[in-house]
Every structure is written in C-alpha cells, then in structure tokens.
Amino acid sequence: MKSGTVAVIGKANAGKSTLINVFVGEKVAIVSPKPQTTRDRILGVLTRADSQIVFVDTPGIYKSRNTLTERMMKTTETTSKDVDVILFVHDGHAGLGEDDIALMQKYASLGIPMLIAYTKIDIMPKEHIPADVKKLAEAGIEADVYPVSARKGKNIKALENGITQLLPEGEPLFSENVVSDRSERFMIAELMREKILLKYEEEIPHGVAIIVNTFKRRENGTYEINLDIVCEKQNHKAILIGKQGRALKEVASFARQDMEKFLGAKVFLTTYVRVREDWRESAGLLKELGYGETEL
C-alpha cells in the first residue's frame, strides 16, 4: 500500500485548504477570501483501497508581523521538512511572479519530492497555463505541474494519482474512517471564525480567537454550544456585536447552520464577546487560546 504525508504549501489565499477539502470530500479546514484563515496545522486524510494520503494543511507563507503570524510561519516551515511529499499550491489566476518562482525553488531544493498544483484555472484564461508551465521549466523547477480547479473539481484525480506515485510503500497511519486529526470541538470553533472572517473587515477577524466553553450532546441528540469570541479591542467588540446585537446574531446564525450540517443535529448556540488586549502578542495567551507550538 502507498502511504504517507503531504505538506500543502503556498502563499496565503492560494487555495490550499479548499483543495484539501475537495480531496478529502469533507470540510476539514475552513476557507475564506482573506489571508490568515488557516492558523494551525490540520490533517486531512484520504484513504483508498490501495493508498492513504495524509494532507497537512499549513497556514501558508507570510511576511511575519506579530507573534501569531510568526508562529504560523514556523508551523509551515517545520511541516515542510518532515513529510514524504510537498504539494506546492500556486494560484494561477493571480499570475506567476519572480517571488512565486523563488518560493518554488526554495521548496524544490529541500530534497523532498514536490508537485505543483496550479489552481483556480476556472477563473483564468486558459492560454496563460502553457506559458507559465514553460516559465517554471526555464527556472529549473523540475516538479510536475497539475493545472486544477478545486472549485470545479477539475483534474483533481490526476493530481491525486501523481501524489500517490510519489508516496512510499507502507502501512496506513490512520484508520480508514478518519478524515481529520481535529476534534469536533475544534471544527466548531473554526466554523464560528470562518463566518467572522466572511462578515467583518480583516482587522477584526485577524484579532479574533474562539473559546469553546460548552460542547454538550443532550440525550435527545441535540447539541448545546457556548462560545467566547475573544477580540483585541473594545471598539472591535462593539463592531462585532453591532447595532442592537444584529451583526452578532447574523454571524452566529450562519455559524449555527454550518455546525448543524457538520454535526448532523440541531444546535443551540450562545456566544459572548470578550476583550483580551493584544492576545496575539502574548505567548501565554496564545497557548491558552490553542495556538501553542505544534509538532507533526
């Protein structure tokens, strides 16, 4: 059996998490048009009759600015060195710049087999693809390039086959019914954060963390969930809540609907917004909020 780990690497917003969700066939990582959506390393597991691919989603590559983004970068860096295969995800529709090529060269030089997913081809002119593939070859990047669309499910199977071929022979790392290493509790917090990312301007969601206080399955099968939405400033709290609590009610309602889909049961959700100043700069608070150092 082919079995191994694949680090999914690329710039913020390239489409890494979306691609993993499509491979796995379930939402294991939240997605939004904003950078810093993925903060943590998350595993997505794809098991077939004769193969198991363990995708490692990473926060992506950033120019570090605060303790949280630094830790995110470190997660990406350590992950990329400790896997069987690197899948470099490039947003084809964003164009191929010198900085993209430099990044690919950097990861290609680690001595780990690498493939390139050239994604979002559903929203770009097809004629750009061969020109970019040629540019990559000219830059000495030997990795096979797979033009794909995660959104339209295009060419995903070919990429899966390409990855499988590069994996070593071995026993599966996870049992066949596992799709992620993360708990339901974690996904609940992430779904709340996703809706906040989608609704508010970047400054607010980037300063938000979610704490799950209560996650309880009642005897009748419904769930009782209570969350703290932690933000960095009083004025962020006011914006999060909105006039007469309307903004918060709306995001909580969207989050609850997704939680119900995810858990397959009715959810009673209550939320409370708290201010903890500068939590992103404090190692202690980061740990408390679940952003401690992670190891593969």
Chosen from Mg ion, ligand GDP, none, partner binding at 189 (C-beta under 5 to 8 Å by type): none
Chosen from ligand GDP, Mg ion, none, partner binding at 155 (C-beta under 5 to 8 Å by type): none
Position of tokens 């999060």? 240
Pick from 5, 52, 76, 119 the residue near ligand GDP by CB under 6 A. 119
For ligand GDP, the closer CB: 15 or 44: 15
- H-helix segments, the chain: 16-24, 67-81, 98-108, 128-138, 156-166, 184-199, 203-206, 234-241, 246-263, 283-288
Q: How many residues bind Mg ion (CB under 5 A)?
A: 4
Chosen from ligand GDP, Mg ion, none, partner binding at 15 (C-beta under 5 to 8 Å by type): ligand GDP
In sequence order, the 6+-apart residues with CB closer than 8 A to the CB of 156 are 19, 22, 23, 148, 150
The C-alpha atoms of residue 60 and residue 74 are separated, in whole angstroms, by: 10
Please say whether the dihedral angle defined by the alpha carbons of residues 72, 73, 78 and 81, taken in this order, is positive or negative: positive
Containing 86, the helix (H) or strand (E) segment is strand 85-91
Pick from 5, 38, 47, 52 the residue near Mg ion by CB under 5 A. 38
| 33 binds ligand GDP per the rule CB under 6 A | yes
Task: Label the pairing between strands 2-9 and 42-48.
Answer: unpaired
Min. distance of Cβ 293 from ligand GDP in angstroms? 21
Min. distance of Cβ 91 from ligand GDP in angstroms? 7
Q: Which of these segments, 26-34, 43-51, 210-218, 269-277, binds ligand GDP (CB under 6 A)?
A: 26-34
Pick from 54, 86, 104, 150 the residue near ligand GDP by CB under 6 A. 150
Min. distance of Cβ 86 from ligand GDP in angstroms? 14
For Mg ion, the closer CB: 31 or 252: 31
String of DSSP letters for 139-178: TT--SEEEE-BTTTTBTHHHHHHHHHHHSPB---SS-TT-
| 17 binds Mg ion per the rule CB under 5 A | yes
Pick from 7, 24, 31, 54 the residue near ligand GDP by CB under 6 A. 31
For ligand GDP, the closer CB: 18 or 47: 18
Chosen from ligand GDP, Mg ion, none, partner binding at 149 (C-beta under 5 to 8 Å by type): ligand GDP
- Computed on alpha carbons and rounded to an integer, the radius of gyration of the chain in Å comes to 20
| 75 binds ligand GDP per the rule CB under 6 A | no
The C-alpha atoms of residue 215 and residue 191 are separated, in whole angstroms, by: 14
* DSSP class of 279: G
Burial (0-12, 13-18, 19+ Cβ within 10 Å), 127? exposed
Burial pattern 41-58, b for ≥16 Cβ within 10 A else e, equals: bbbbbbbeeebbbbbbbb
Across the strands, what pairs with 223? 217, 267
Chosen from ligand GDP, Mg ion, none, partner binding at 151 (C-beta under 5 to 8 Å by type): ligand GDP
* DSSP class of 113: -
| 60 binds ligand GDP per the rule CB under 6 A | yes
Chosen from Mg ion, ligand GDP, none, partner binding at 14 (C-beta under 5 to 8 Å by type): ligand GDP
Pick from 12, 108, 143, 227 the residue near ligand GDP by CB under 6 A. 12
Residue ranges in contact with ligand GDP by CB under 6 A? 10, 12-18, 31-33, 37-38, 60, 119-120, 122-123, 149-151
**Residues found near Mg ion in the complex (CB under 5 A):** 16-17, 37-38
